[in-house]
Structure formats: structure tokens, C-alpha cells
Structure 1
């Protein structure tokens, strides 16, 4: 098992990429704290995910936009599992609109969750990682953070900022043996893409060399690689998982 006895914290873990990552990590021997703003859903997800490994998963409710709840979540994980080895900053939202129609509230909401949320959890989790002189931080960015997208100025800025945040944290934390990397998914079949029209999906798939949208487990597998010893000489990098959509 590639993550035996490791403890992982995954935000936005109630569904989609976060849930797939939690399930894969559990299957590889990790103990996992699933974090989400939806308390009821994340608890249900944690219970379902842990059926094969009882006691190895816990659901925690936290609002990533508020540092005190992130810090409290980290403390809860330490109390239950004694340490944190891996942090996956996956929590994210979209509020799409064209630039001239986008409200300040739409801009702020996306930046607060997608970028500030990663800052909050990384800051909180970095302290126990530094004491242990070991850790992995994996930020779930996006291909639109690399190339931009019409109607997603806020989302693109948040994910581009997350990539820059990844590189800065990699430089700050390397001396403590904490590796910080990002994954930039392309279009993945989640609740964020399920709302698209069939025509919009067809146009998107037409841009992907492999001819299909990604699945949450495709991103989870990349996260597993970055969380494992297989990536022990990789930090500050952005791993594209996009089916050839962005080269």
C-alpha cells in the first residue's frame, strides 16, 4: 500500500474529485479526514468511504473561507490521528459571468473559496508538518488557470493564483521537507460540468485530444502519485491532467 499509515486531509471532499481522492487514498492504506462545508453530506460520504476500512475516515465540517474553522479542523485531525502527512486543497466553486456583468460578490466568492481557502488550510496544516519535518501539499488548480476562459475571469484568476501560491510555498517549505505541487485538471465530469448543456459539452470534448472528459478518479490518481514516495524529488510543479486539451 502506497500510503500505509499516512494521514491525509482533503477539502471539498463530499463529492467529485475530493471524494474520489479520499476513496483512493483509503484503499492505499491512508487515514483520511474528509472536509467540506456541507456537514451532513461530508459525514455521509466519510461513512460510505470507510466501509472497507472502518475507523480510517472522519468527516469534518469547515468553511475554508474562515481561518478559525480551518485551524479547528486541523486540530481535530491531530487529536484523532496524531499527525497530518498530506493536505489536498480541493475545495472550489464557480460563479461564471462575463467580465462586464460579473459582480464584485461573484468575484470575491470564488477567490475566497478557491484561493484564500487553500491559503488558510496550508497555513494551518504547515505547522504540524514543519514540526514533523515532512509533508505533502497538493493543490487542485485548473487548466483555465493556465490559459484562461471566457466567462470565468474570477475562476481563472483564482486557479492561476493557486499555481503561483504553489510555487511560492514550495520555495518556503522545502527546507522542512514539505513538498508542494499542483494538479491542473482539464474538464472533469463533476457537478460543476454536469450543469453544462449537451452542446457545450460537445464543444469542450472537441478540444480534448483523447476525445472524452476526465473522470474524478483520473485526478485522484495524480494526487496519489504526488502524495506517495514515487514523487519524493518533485516540488513546485504543475501536473496537467487534461487529456491533451492544453499542451
Structure 2
């Protein structure tokens, strides 16, 4: 399994427009982060987790032009803002692209991208050919292209969202707490991707660095890659050298080959 980090930044990305913060002014390419998303490839199949507003550029620079499914963690703009740009992928593949998410999330997508689903003639030329698959009433897992996918229940503040597990790889973003049942489902996993926003304490916002590290100690994955990073975390090279063994900061363009 090949995992490509298309983006590793938070909702604003790095650099932030108009910011003079030192991290935003960094010349290190690893400090430049598009909105978080990963591409998963195996057996000539290609899956995307989240489709943010940087999706078009992410696909162009990673030289990918097909998708067999899209998994959506939640409905915030940095996770669905690029859905309009899947049109050329449909034209290349000539096949509807399935999108999986919670019923609430898919309802939001239908409202926000109403013209995709409209039967009105005036919207016909703008139509994106996708198929919608609700996960609210799903069992513990579902199958896509013969892959067993486990939706993971996560809390983003007071909002229930999803993470996803595929084989021995799990992806969790925007978590502020993880239910015990979800932790059991990924305990000792080979590769975990987990969000970290900043160092300083917070209220209901996604994990700080200490909270992420504490969660990693509980889950005990073989390797962890941190993502959904804000400029407030600090410089990539300075944070990475302080991380525990087998915990790494992900960066845009990072590729993991998972057996």
C-alpha cells in the first residue's frame, strides 16, 4: 500500500495569507502546507481521504488522474471544498466516483454543491458524476473495490466525525477526543496518521502536541505521522527532532510504502 500526503496543513494552510509569523516566512519546503488530505493506492486502485480546496493543485503536482473512491471525514470547507474539481477525473475515467460519508455530511455536500445534483437543464453542463454512499447506518465495516474499510468514530469538539482504517493503516484528523471503542479498533496498528494543531492548551479544538503524544502512547502504533498542522506548532525541523521514536511530522508530498 502506498500512501501519499497531498496536504498536511490545517484549515488555513501554511503560509497564511498576510501573516508575518516566522513559520509562514520559512524557506523550508516542509513548512509549506496545503490543506490535509491523503491518497491511498494498492492493486491499481486509488482512494482519497478528504477533498479540500487545494485538491486540484495537489493532484496536479502528485501526477494523479484517477480516483476509485473518496472518503469524507466531515463537512468543513478544508475537507470538502475541492469536490467541484473532480470533474476532469470523471471525464478521464468515464465512471461515477463514489463518495462515502455520514448522512449529515452528504446532506451538507448536496446543499453546498446543489448544481451537481440538480436535474434542471441549466445546470447540465456543470454536472459532476458522483455516487453518494451513506455510512450512518453501516455495519462495523464496508467494502470498496474488495477493500475492507472501517469507519472510525471521532469527536471534533461537539461534532461527531469519521476517521478511516484500511488494512493496518488508520487516518484520523481534527480529533479533539477519540472514543474508547475506536481506540480498541486501532490498538497496535502499523501506521497511524493523527492530527496535531499546536503546542498551547485549548478548549474543544483539535489535539495539541501533548494530547497527540498521549493518545499515541495509548494506541501504541508501530509508526505515527502527525498531520493537520498549524503554523503555531513551530518549524518542522525543530519539532521533528524532539518527537519520540517512531513519531514523525508528515509533510506535503511525503510517501509511505506500507506492506
Taking structure 1 as the reference length, the TM-score comes to 0.39
State the structure with more CA Rg. Answer: 2
Q: Which has the higher helix share?
A: 1
